[in-house]
Structure 1
Amino acid sequence: MDIILIVIIILNVIISFKAFDDQMFFNKYKFQIGSIKAGEQIRMVTSGFLHVDIPHLVFNMFTLYFFAPIIISQFGGISFLYIYFGSLISGSLLTYFFHNKDSYYTAVGASGAVMGIIYSSILLKPGMELLLFYVIPIPGYLFGIGYLLYSIYGMKAKRDNIGHTAHFGGAIGGYLITLSKEPHMIFDNTLMVVLLAIPILVLFYLFKTNKL
């Protein structure tokens, strides 16, 4: 495993476990609209290293562990970091855009960054398959699209602090950064490029029509 990926996973684990035992630490670094408006923009990055609980952390890190090597083998470790943090920040920016009128809105999780890695990986390796529940083989693109559609449900339900909106922002970040690095994909793999854009377009339609 690449050392850069190991460091990212370790940072997520250490910071998340610190926050599990220290509510003041969690509150200080989580994504919160009111605090960001007050000048604490650092929360747009630090919130991506916090998690609601251990299952949330494990799911994100396991997913990152599976998809990240595809990007690292194609682009190298530095470009992986660029996509990871670019997706994290784009996830926070979209969350801010969608929820900027709600000063009390909060969210945490590496899901935005991880979703960007997923989308980038699917574009690079569109034929990949995953084992759903370790048993059922499914195409990777169905996992990515399904994850985003589930995120729409999470946004509507508003039952947790997980950054569901960030999933979309992260996906957009990973999608655009990868296409900017490999623009030929738009013509060589048009169907996959269009399929991955569908849930993003659905989100903006729901937002525009006030159905979120």
Structure 2
Amino acid sequence: MLNSVSFILIVITTGISLLAWQKPNLLELLTLNPYRIVHKKQYWRFLTSGFIHADFTHLFFNVFSFFFFGVQIEQIFGILFPGLGNILLIIFYLLAIVISDLPTFFKQKNNPYFNSLGASGAVSAVIFAGILFFPVEKIYLFGFVGIPGVIYAGLFTWYSIAMDKRGGGNVNHSAHLYGGLFGWLFITILYPQVWLTFFQQIKAALW
């Protein structure tokens, strides 16, 4: 476990977040700011914004969620593609950080005051990947409310779209939504047979 990519990503994310909280200038430098990316060519913000968080609660929920689903997906990748599980998870996770923020980037690229941070887009991608492999396994909200994964995905998508249209606040719901959709797209390209077992599991649960 200690040498798994999932654990290493958690340690790196936690370490960078803790350091950035102590250094406001560093936090600002790593945050996603579409305007600065366009006008000052600070392209690193696409990636670094996924390794910092607003506060401990924000960090905890992302790390907690990724701990369970990241380890699961890493093991699945290792079974499907022996010897490549670790590198596939790294590629998947880093791509998810960037791609989940692209819609926000294009929407806010002329807004110098917009900032976004957090690994939520990448974590959503990993969660949705897990749902694709195990659609009827329950996801427990707040530790005790169990919802089948496929239903959770539908509710999560609806909520993210509704909150993104509503706007306001500091949560980038668009990144949550597009991160989840990217998770499904990545797995579909990597292992399209997953959809066969996806529907077989749902059918078995219903009948």
TM range (shorter): 0.7 to 0.9
Distance 1:192 1:19 in 2: 43
Identity %: 28
Report if the CA contact (8 A) 1:32-1:107 is conserved: yes
Cα-Cα RMSD: 2.1
**Cα gap change, 1:189 to 1:12, in 2 (>3 Å):** same
Report if the CA contact (8 A) 2:161-2:177 is conserved: no
Residue 130 of structure 1 aligns to a residue whose secondary structure is strand
Code of the aligned partner of 2:11? I
Unaligned 5+ runs, structure 2: 78-84, 203-207
| 2:158 is aligned with 1:158 | no
| 2:53 is aligned with 1:51 | yes
Distance 1:11 1:157 in 2: 31
| 2:150 is aligned with 1:141 | yes
Code of the aligned partner of 1:55? T
Distance 1:56 1:149 in 2: 21
Report if the CA contact (8 A) 1:83-1:173 is conserved: no
In structure 1, the partner of 2:33 is 32
Residue 67 of structure 2 aligns to a residue whose secondary structure is helix
Q: Report the TM-score when normalising by structure 2.
A: 0.84
**Cα gap change, 1:99 to 1:191, in 2 (>3 Å):** farther
Residue 129 of structure 2 aligns to a residue whose secondary structure is helix
Distance 1:115 1:192 in 2: 21
Residue 147 of structure 2 aligns to a residue whose secondary structure is strand
In structure 2, the partner of 1:69 is 71
Residue 43 of structure 2 aligns to a residue whose secondary structure is coil
Residue 189 of structure 1 aligns to a residue whose secondary structure is helix
Distance 2:63 2:5 in 1: 14
Report 1:1-212 matches (<5 A).
1=1, 3-37=4-38, 38-75=40-77, 76-155=85-164, 156-160=166-170, 162-189=171-198
Q: CA deviation at 1:142?
A: 2.9
Distance 2:99 2:116 in 1: 14
Distance 1:148 1:56 in 2: 20
Distance 2:45 2:200 in 1: 36
Q: CA deviation at 1:191?
A: 9.0
Report if the CA contact (8 A) 2:30-2:48 is conserved: yes
Code of the aligned partner of 1:134? G
Q: Report the TM-score when normalising by structure 1.
A: 0.82
Code of the aligned partner of 2:57? P
Q: CA deviation at 1:153?
A: 4.5
Q: Which deviations, in whole Å up to 9, do the C-alpha atoms of 1:86-140 show, x marking residues without a partner?
A: 2111112222123234232210000011011011111111121122222222112
**Cα gap change, 1:68 to 1:106, in 2 (>3 Å):** same
Residue 118 of structure 2 aligns to a residue whose secondary structure is coil
Unaligned 5+ runs, structure 1: 194-212
Distance 1:135 1:188 in 2: 27
Q: Which deviations, in whole Å up to 9, do the C-alpha atoms of 1:132-157 show, x marking residues without a partner?
A: 22222211233333333333344323
Report if the CA contact (8 A) 1:33-1:104 is conserved: no
Code of the aligned partner of 1:159? G
Give the count of matched residue pairs: 192
Stretch moving more, 137-146 or 51-60:
137-146
